[in-house]
Amino acid sequence: MKIAVTGATGFVGRAIARAAEDKGWDVVRFARRRDPGYAYWDLADRPPARLPEVDAVVHAGAHVADWGDPRIFHRVNVLGTRALSEAYARTRLVHISSSSVYPWWESCVNRVEEEVASKHLNAYGRSKALADIEARKHGNALSLRPHGVYGQGDRTLLPRLIGNIRRGRLLSVGGPTVRHQLTHIDNLTTAALAACGSELRGAVNVADAEPVELGSILREVLDVTGHPHTGIRYIPGAVAMAVAGFSEAAAMATGTPPRLTRYAVSQLGRERTYCLDRLREGLGVEPISTTLSDARKWLEHGA
C-alpha cells in the first residue's frame, strides 16, 4: 500500500509514517519543510500543483496550541482539511481529529462517537470540530478522535506535566480520582493504518484499553521521570477555571500567552473516558493498556 501523511514532521504524523514503513508500505511525507525526504505542502496555502497518487491519505497535519490567533487555526485546521479533502476527493481519507470536539462543559463517561459540540473554549477546539466536519464530508473518510496522545516523540503532554513542578510539588486540577482514557501513540498509529484499508466511515474514538485515575498516572509519571519525592497539589476545577479565566484576560491585555487556559482545565479536570466499540469491532483494533515505563527515555531523547 502507498499512503500520504500530512504533518509528517510532527509527533503523530512522524509516528504514523514510521509505522507504515515498518509494514513495508510506501509513504509520501507531506510537511512545511523543503527538505530531502519530504513533499512540501503548507496547509495554510494552496495544495501543490501536482500530487502523488496514493491509496490513502492520513491527515495528521494541524496547528495545535491552547492559545493563539483564531485566524491561523481556522486557515490551517479547517481550510487546510477542506483543501486536502478536495485535492484527494477519490482517495481514502483518514483524519486525525481530537476528543476536544466533544462538549467541554460536561464529563465524558464512556462517550460514544457523537456529533461535535457547537460551543468551544478556544480557537483550537473550535477549529478541530469544524475540521472533523469537513473531513467527514469526504465520500470515503474516517475521523479518528484520540484523547491525550503520549509516547515516544511527545513534545507536549508529558513535558508540560513535568514543567508544572513548582517548589517540589506538581500542580494539577480536578482530583486524584478523576478518570481519563489516554492514548498511547502505538494505539493511534495502529488505528490509523487499519483505517487506511477499511471501508468504515464516520468517526471512531481511539484510546488506551481502559481508563486510569489521574492521581495514579501523575504519580507514575513523577516516579519514572526521576521525581519520586515530588508531591501533587490539586486545584479544584471551579477554582482552576476562574484562575484560567483571569489568566486569559491578562493574556488578551498583554499579548503574552496565558499560563493556564480554560481549555486545559476542562480537558484535565473532568472525566474523559470513551466507548471503544467501533475501534475494536469496526477497525479490528485491540488497544494496549496505558504504559509509562519508558517515559523518562521519551523525555530525555525526544523523537
Which of 96, 98, 140 lies closest to 116, judged by CA? 98
Could you give the percent of the chain with pLDDT greater than 70?
98
- Are 119 and 103 a contacting pair, CB within 8 Å? yes
Conformational region of residue 180, where left means phi above 0, alpha means psi within -120 to 50, and beta covers everything else? beta
Q: What is the per-residue pLDDT for 69? A: 92
Q: What is the per-residue pLDDT for 301? A: 59
Per-domain residue ranges of the chain: 2-301
Rounded to whole angstroms, the Cα distance separating 272 from 183 reads: 11
Q: What is the per-residue pLDDT for 296? A: 74
Q: What is the per-residue pLDDT for 161? A: 78
Q: For the segment 223-269, what is each residue's pLDDT rounded down to a tens digit? A: 988 888 899 999 998 999 999 999 999 999 998 999 889 999 999 99
Residue numbers of the chain with a pLDDT score lower than 70: 299-303
Q: What is the per-residue pLDDT for 195? A: 98
CATH superfamily of 2-301: NAD(P)-binding Rossmann-like Domain (3.40.50.720)
Q: What is the per-residue pLDDT for 114? A: 94
